[in-house]
Amino acid sequence: MKTPTTPPSLSKLLKGIGPDNLLQLLAKVAEPTVSGEYLHWDKLRHRTPPFDLSLREWWLGLKLQRGTQAKPIALSDNCGTPFSFNLADPIPEKLHEIDLKAGGAVQMPEPVVNPESRNSYIVRSLMEEAITSSQLEGAATTREVAKEMIRRGITPRDRSEQMILNNFQTMERIIQVKNEPLTEDLIFEIHRMVTDKTLDNNSAAGRLRRDDENCVVGDDFGEIDHVPPNPIELPARMAAMIDFANGKTPSYFVHPAIRSIILHFWLAYDHPFIDGNGRTARALFYWSMLRHHYWLFEFVSISRIFLRAPVKYGRAFLYTETDDNDLTYFLIYHLQAIDESIRDLYNYINLKTNQTKALGQELSGMVLLNHRQRDLISHALRHPGFLYSIKSHQNSHSVVYQTARNDLLDLVSRGLLTKEVRGKSFSFKPAKDIAEKLREPGP
């Protein structure tokens, strides 16, 4: 990924500019954005300045407006310069939308809030996040293979599948500890879970980088994007991050979503582990959002959005680092990704609702099927050669073994599935005449 062009330094831009000229400049550049966009110098330099300003004067005006609104936090770079952010547009609007759509008494479609079906949606979200978060880090397994591995409880065959299974189990754990404060032990536990059986040196799991384990973040061509802090600083930096995550710092109010996003950035920036930093950072983001009662985040996958345009994800980090540690770039990108992930969830629910309605017309003689059976039959109609197991059905819907077994045997008794013995367990596949069976009138 190409490193963004570093902006001119503020000190050089201010040389030779008197107070009167500064006042005139601020009158012409009255906002920190350009037509609602929070532009980095890398993009601004290709725009035409307003009025009679030069590019450097325009950039200076923007920097001054941003600086007056900047809110510092306890994270600093390798030179001791603090990171900060401001609440420029469109941040306030995006935060308002998150409050309305993701927390409190938000009204969601019936399938998500219905205790009978919500577990299926949670499992789907956990699998999607596990897969895409791993793919961001290089996992090469396809979605279908990964989903079947999780559903059937198959032992991972390679590092990619192990990464995905680790992420899935970690996300399950995040939901369990969502009400607990963040501690060093919890961070180490999360890191051990995401890196289990995937590190070259297994002793590096659940501990900070050591003095002889300096590392850099870069691409396959030797381009260095980020040099993390020295390992000797990591204990103190992690303590500061934990205080921030638990709301002990700073002294001013930080919106919970902003705090969660900065926590994501913070761990990724400090890069405290040899490997698994990105997956741990995204897991901490989920922990923070759920701890602040944004319960919808049990159902959305943020990494799915990052994976669609991984260059944008990486550039959001670089824009912050190359422009005086301005976190606003990362905040805006992340908030847009959250917005897109919520829209994805609504679209998925609408799709499933329409499929259920259509299937309901086909199931005229099968009115007693429960939602889990209807989901399986819907899948079976699209995949006539697919094999199901009690374990896969159990994992797909987060139900106990006996419930899954009863579901499948009931479908066999109705003639919709056939049963055969494979090894020591049963396998089930769609009956050859399943479509005709579904069209038979009820009693």
> What is the pLDDT, as a whole number, of residue 366?
58
Confidence of residue 277 (pLDDT cuts 50, 70, 90): very high
Same domain for 421 and 279? no
Range among 114-128, 273-287, 353-367 with highest mean pLDDT value: 273-287
Residue 389, domain member (yes or no): yes
Amino acid occupying residue 411: L
Residue 355, domain member (yes or no): no
Strand (E) or helix (H) holding 439: helix 434-439
Same domain for 374 and 292? no
CA 353 to chain centre: 25
Confidence of residue 442 (pLDDT cuts 50, 70, 90): low
Same domain for 45 and 22? yes
Same domain for 339 and 207? yes
Residue 378, domain member (yes or no): yes
> What is the pLDDT, as a whole number, of residue 3?
87
Between CA 84 and CA 329 the distance in angstroms is 11
44 or 119, higher pLDDT: 44
Amino acid occupying residue 227: V
The one catalytic residue among 271, 334, 393, 397: 271
Reply yes or no on whether the pLDDT at 362 is more than 70: no
Least trusted range by pLDDT, from 38-47, 111-120, 232-241, 305-314: 111-120
Helix %, strand %, coil % of the chain (to 5): 60, 5, 35
Range among 215-229, 316-330, 384-398 with highest mean pLDDT value: 316-330
Between CA 18 and CA 10 the distance in angstroms is 14
Residue 29, domain member (yes or no): yes
Percentage of residues of the chain with pLDDT beyond 70: 92
DSSP E strands in 159-296: the ranges are 217-218, 224-226
Same domain for 257 and 228? yes
Are the C-beta atoms of 170 and 178 separated by less than 8 Å?
Answer: no
Same domain for 306 and 251? yes
> What is the pLDDT, as a whole number, of residue 135?
94
Confidence of residue 316 (pLDDT cuts 50, 70, 90): very high
Residue 267, domain member (yes or no): yes
Between CA 192 and CA 205 the distance in angstroms is 5
> What is the pLDDT, as a whole number, of residue 222?
61
Please tell me whether 16 is known to bind a ligand: no
Confidence of residue 443 (pLDDT cuts 50, 70, 90): very low
Tell me the mean pLDDT in the region 22-43.
96
Same domain for 387 and 252? no
Q: How many CA atoms lie within 13 A of 230 on its CB side?
A: 6
Between CA 38 and CA 264 the distance in angstroms is 20
> Which residues are CB-contacts of 301 (< 8 A; sequence separation ≥ 6)?
125, 128, 129, 132, 341, 344
Between CA 179 and CA 177 the distance in angstroms is 5
260 or 353, higher pLDDT: 260
Strand (E) or helix (H) holding 132: helix 118-136
Q: What CATH number corresponds to the domain at position 89?
A: 1.10.3290.10
Amino acid occupying residue 415: G
Q: Which domain holds residue 48?
A: 10-69
Reply yes or no on whether the pLDDT at 363 is more than 70: no
Please tell me whether 281 is known to bind a ligand: yes
Please tell me whether 21 is known to bind a ligand: no
Reply yes or no on whether the pLDDT at 338 is more than 60: yes
DSSP state of 300: -
173 or 371, higher pLDDT: 173
Residue 356, domain member (yes or no): no
Please tell me whether 223 is known to bind a ligand: yes
> What is the pLDDT, as a whole number, of residue 141?
86
Residue 4, domain member (yes or no): no
Please tell me whether 433 is known to bind a ligand: no
383 or 343, higher pLDDT: 343
Domain end point (choices 347, 380, 404): 347
Reply yes or no on whether the pLDDT at 163 is more than 80: yes
Same domain for 232 and 110? yes
Residue 359, domain member (yes or no): no
Tokens of 427: 């396998």
Q: Is the dihedral of CA 93, 94, 99, 100 positive or negative?
A: positive
For residue 320, give the nearest of 225, 235, 246 by alpha carbon.
Answer: 225
Between CA 332 and CA 338, with CA 337 as vertex, the angle to 5 degrees is 100
Are the C-beta atoms of 86 and 328 separated by less than 8 Å?
Answer: yes
> Which residues are CB-contacts of 189 (< 8 A; sequence separation ≥ 6)?
173, 206
Tell me the mean pLDDT in the region 366-383.
83
Same domain for 307 and 217? yes
Same domain for 324 and 188? yes
Q: What CATH number corresponds to the domain at position 381?
A: 1.10.10.10
Please tell me whether 230 is known to bind a ligand: no
Q: What's the number of domains the chain is made of?
A: 3
The secondary structure of 370-392 as a DSSP string is -HHHHHHHHHHHH-TT--B-HHH
Asked about 271 being catalytic, the answer comes back as: yes
Please tell me whether 311 is known to bind a ligand: no
For residue 394, give the nearest of 151, 217, 168 by alpha carbon.
Answer: 151
Same domain for 266 and 211? yes
Same domain for 397 and 340? no
> What is the pLDDT, as a whole number, of residue 116?
58
Reply yes or no on whether the pLDDT at 192 is more than 90: yes
Please tell me whether 405 is known to bind a ligand: no
The pTM assigned to this predicted structure is 0.86
